[in-house]
Amino acid sequence: MSFEMNSEKIDDFVKLFDKCFDENNKVRLCGREACQELLDLLDDPRFGNRETGVLNTNNIVRLYYTVVPPEKRRIGDSPLSTPDVFLPFEL
């Protein structure tokens, strides 16, 4: 199964990622609706359960560092907080 994002979808992903995750890549207390909005955008069960709003944080954070170019990442990002870029599936 492959996963693709065009530049418009990447921009939307960055906005929703920032809404759902803090600068340490931990889930914010943003509410289930925000998580569901992110999952709706990703539209793939490998990133979480849309009905419950439960995120697969590891896959979402790894996706962020895989598809978002450095110039579009948050200012607070640092290489120390960057997980190893490995996804257990093909993008």
Is there a domain that residue 13 lies in?
Answer: yes
- Predicted pLDDT of residue 5: 84
What's the pLDDT tens digit per position in 61-87? Answer: 999 988 888 888 876 555 444 444 445
- How would residue 33 be classed by pLDDT, with cut points 50, 70 and 90? very high
- How many domains is the chain partitioned into structurally? 1
What does the DSSP assignment read for 27-53? BPS--HHHHHHHHHHH--GGGEETTTT
In-domain check, residue 85: no
Q: With bands split at pLDDT 50, 70 and 90, how would you rate the model's confidence at 45? A: very high
Asked whether residue 14 is assigned to any structural domain, the reply reads yes
**Domain residues for 30?**
7-71
**In a domain? residue 31:** yes
Q: Give the number of other Cβ atoms within 10 Å of residue 20's Cβ.
A: 21
pTM exceeds cut of 0.85: no
